[in-house]
Amino acid sequence: MDTNEQLRILGSTTGCISFKERFERSSKASLAATKINVLQINVGKRCNLSCRHCHVDAGPERTEIMSRKILNACLDIAKQKEISTIDITGGSPEMNPHLGWFLCEAGKLDKRLIVRSNLVILLEDAYAGFIDVYAKNRVEVVTSLPDYHDDGTNRQRGSGAFTRIIQAMRLLNQKDYGREERSLVLNIMHNPVGAYLPGAQKALEAEYKKRLFTEHGVVFNRLFCITNMPVGRYLEYLLNSGNFEDYMAGLCEAYNPLAAENVMCRSTISVGWDGTLYDCDFNQMLGLRVNHGMPDMIMDFNIEKLRSRKIVIGNHCYGCTAGIGSSCQGATVVGAG
């Protein structure tokens, strides 16, 4: 489904008032950034999987891949003092042919360096070498594991995905990933398998740790919950299953002003594969580039202007503000995670 159609559908939701109105009513102001700590880079839409919950609509047939020139521009921006975290996502980031080089360069900057990997790809011969590249550059690896049961995970990520993720976790554990004391960091993102909000983050983390260790002998550091965003393939799933209106009404009903104050776009800038700037990866997939007169291409990046920019919002933003809040770092309500 193209972005215009997605925006039309999101805008026509009948179960709630517009997010803009809701936010401005609760916070008495427009949503605006306060800083840029996180540089999130989407290095391409190509992926070895085609997960049902994917907001990127990624898959093996996608051809969009970030060039070395754009990655070089990202590296220059990452050097700025205000940026403390470089967060790499996709698609499957490993399918960008420049990723290895980029990580070696970014690893020298002494910043928090994150790669969001589906892990399944690390079992393929052509990509297995990334385990050493990650360890060498102290990359934090984050992977999506919707369920600690194989059927729940396989339903979202494809047949056999659970077993392969566990296999890859074992390889990472052997490289000192996921152990508590001064280890390399391996985190899990949990998202609900159905059309409902995630459960309590801390309780889920404890349950995942227990089940994954006792049943599979693997360990990880932290678990973060993320709400499924009504964007991309997940929006199509909601529409096809007849759950769209109910899901949106549920998100709207669970609107939390505290979560709304802490949405990740207030401290993040997101870069698309072609160098376009967005407020977050979700806006990126809806084609909503930074606006309100801001420089919107990486070659024109200006941190002074962008750090206080007004955020481009829409009804999909209810996904970040429901319940205990949702972001690429999990719950956003302080104390809830």
- Residue numbers at the binding site for ligand SF4 (CB under 6 A): 47, 49-51, 54, 56, 58, 90-92, 118, 263-265, 279-280, 282-283, 311, 313, 316-317, 320
> Which is nearer to ligand SF4, 56 or 73 (by Cβ)?
56
CA gap 328, 326 in Å, rounded:
7
Burial profile 53-68: b = 16 or more Cβ within 10 angstroms, e = fewer: bbbbbbbeebebbbbe
Whether residue 316 contacts residue 231, with contact meaning beta carbons closer than 8 Å, is answered with: yes
> Which is nearer to ligand SF4, 19 or 110 (by Cβ)?
19
> Which is nearer to ligand SF4, 92 or 256 (by Cβ)?
92
**Least separation in angstroms between CB 93 and ligand SF4:** 9
**Least separation in angstroms between CB 325 and ligand SF4:** 9
Whether residue 85 contacts residue 328, with contact meaning beta carbons closer than 8 Å, is answered with: no
**Class of residue 52 by CB neighbours under 10 A (exposed 0-12, middle 13-18, buried 19+):** middle
> Which is nearer to ligand SF4, 78 or 251 (by Cβ)?
251
Whether residue 275 contacts residue 299, with contact meaning beta carbons closer than 8 Å, is answered with: yes
**Least separation in angstroms between CB 265 and ligand SF4:** 3
**Least separation in angstroms between CB 110 and ligand SF4:** 27
> Which is nearer to ligand SF4, 77 or 320 (by Cβ)?
320
**Least separation in angstroms between CB 268 and ligand SF4:** 7
Q: In which order are the strands placed within the sheet that holds 223-225?
A: 223-225, 186-190, 140-144, 112-116, 85-89, 38-42, 268-271, 277-278
> Which is nearer to ligand SF4, 2 or 110 (by Cβ)?
2
CA distances to 140, 268, 272, 285 from 43, rounded to whole Å, are 17, 16, 7, 13
Number of Cβ within 10 Å of residue 80's Cβ equals 11
H/E run at residue 172? helix 161-174
Any idea which residue has 């790809």 for tokens?
121
CA gap 266, 248 in Å, rounded:
23
Can you say how many angstroms the Cα of residue 298 is from the centroid of all Cα atoms in its chain?
Answer: 20
Whether residue 161 contacts residue 155, with contact meaning beta carbons closer than 8 Å, is answered with: no
User: Read out DSSP for 201-254?
Assistant: HHHHHHHHHHHHHHHH----S-EEE-PPPSSHHHHHHHHHTT-HHHHHHHHHHT
> Which is nearer to ligand SF4, 42 or 201 (by Cβ)?
42
CA gap 334, 323 in Å, rounded:
12
**Least separation in angstroms between CB 337 and ligand SF4:** 17
> Which is nearer to ligand SF4, 54 or 225 (by Cβ)?
54
**Least separation in angstroms between CB 214 and ligand SF4:** 26
Q: What are phi and psi of 335, to 5 degrees?
A: 95, -15
> Which is nearer to ligand SF4, 118 or 153 (by Cβ)?
118
**Least separation in angstroms between CB 5 and ligand SF4:** 18
**Least separation in angstroms between CB 70 and ligand SF4:** 19
